[in-house]
Amino acid sequence: MSRRRTLGTKKKIALLVSAATVAGGGAFVMASTSNASQTPTVKSAADSTVCQGLATALGNNQKFIDGQKANPDAQSAARIANREAVIAQIKVQQEASGCAAGESAQDSQAAQPSAPAGNAGNAGGDQNAGDAGNAGNAGGGAAAGQQVCNGSTVTLSGEGGAPAASSNQFPAGTKLKVTNLDNNKSTTVEVTSVSGSCVLLNNAAFEQVREAGKFLIRRAVIEKVG
């Protein structure tokens, strides 16, 4: 009788050990699943060319807004509202690309000489050719066929519409040819508005020359053609 009780006890202990092993395995599986579902690491402009391009686009638009606020005119409020909508869309693209939403950067052109702040602010009229002429003091005098904006990277303004460009160097109506040396694709566009950089391409123009998945052209040749 005593021997039967001993055997029964051993079986119960074996079952408890087995259950504990299964439970432990389940806990391990749950922990592994939990770790696997953690939020992906957010990339910064320094970690990704895509993120850098989007951060530059946001920074250029913010620079334009700051210029309009510093030197407002009758059209500044409308221009600022338009660029704020563009920035909101860029933030959506940053988040979708795994980048830090709202991160801002300036391209290399920001360190180069530009038109006086007063002229750039007054030249903000997207359709006012007289005012826009003041914005082109630093580069508008370049001869047709001359290479301009040397050393400047090219990114997008985030604006929609037909292929076009914006610039703080050239007046509305100027035609610029942008060539991406990494894929030898080119586009010729007309400057239609003012921006915070030598040349920004709107979405349609940028799509014509960019490499798939990239929002920044590091090696670009920009020529004034008209």
Q: Is 87 exposed, middle or buried (0-12, 13-18, 19+ CB in 10 A)?
A: buried
DSSP state of 116: -
How much is the pLDDT for 124? 32
Give the H or E element holding residue 148: strand 146-148
Which pLDDT tens digit goes with each residue over 132-145? Answer: 333 434 455 666 66
168 in helix, strand or coil?
A: coil
C-alpha distances (whole Å) from 164 to each of 33, 39, 130, 206, 224 are 48, 38, 19, 9, 14
**Using an 8 Å Cβ cutoff, are 115 and 136 in contact?**
yes
pTM greater than 0.75? no
Which pLDDT tens digit goes with each residue over 130-187? Answer: 333 334 344 556 666 688 888 888 888 888 899 999 888 899 999 999 999 999 999 9
Q: For the chain, which ranges sit under pLDDT 70?
A: 1-40, 106-145
**Using an 8 Å Cβ cutoff, are 157 and 202 in contact?**
yes
